Every structure is written in C-alpha cells, then in structure tokens.
Amino acid sequence: MKKLLIGCLVSFPATLFVACGGRSHNGTYVANWKNEYSVAGDTIIIKENVATKRTSYRKIRKGQLKPKEWSVKRWILNDPNGPIIELGDHQIVLGSTIYKQVK
C-alpha cells in the first residue's frame, strides 16, 4: 500500500508537467515602435508566474523629442483581472503587440 501511495505521489506531478507542456515561459520579452507622435519600448519580464511590464516612451512634439516617461505594471499570469497573454515559442502576444524573447 505504501509503495502504491508513493508511486501516485511521484507520478501525479510528472503527469501534470507533461500535460501542461513543461515549457517555462520565464524570460524577458521586448517590443519597440515609433510613429509620428512618440517613440516607445515595452519590456515584459515573466518570472515564476508573475509578469512585470515596463513601458518607456518619449513624446514627439513639433519634431522635438520630449523627456522620457515610464510606467510599471505587475500582474499574476492567468489572473481573471489581468491582461491576457498568448504564450508562443520565443515570443508572447499582449493585445495586438508581439514581444520577442531576448533572454
């Protein structure tokens, strides 16, 4: 009976690992863009189910770059109140923005 219990306890996490893909999406992902009104860059760091999004941008007014502004947001992945992130191979998608993995 003891061997059966130990076998079940060992095999259950292994089954979950294989069933869920087993791939960790921990890493740093970036996206950059420029238009006539601003220059911006986003960095999303995913570590142990927590996502941190750092956004920096510089407004362009009358052809001149203004000082850099930034914001930081954090959320738990798969939180119903958080944004939806589509996880892919070496990239993620948040809304319509594609972030490429850099490390």
Decide if 34 contacts 40 (C-beta within 8 A). Answer: yes
Could you give the dihedral angle defined by the CA atoms of residues 74, 75, 77 and 83, in that order, rounded to the nearest 10 degrees?
Answer: -100
Res. 4 pLDDT band, cuts 50 70 90: very low
pTM for the predicted model, two decimal places: 0.72
Q: Residue 98: phi, psi to the nearest 5?
A: -100, 125
Res. 52 pLDDT band, cuts 50 70 90: very high
Topology of domain 24-101 in CATH is Lipocalin (2.40.128)
In tens, the pLDDT along 33-47 reads 999 999 999 999 999
Domain ranges of the chain: 24-101
Sorted by sequence, the CB contacts under 8 Å of residue 85 that are 6+ apart come out as 44, 51, 77, 92, 93, 94
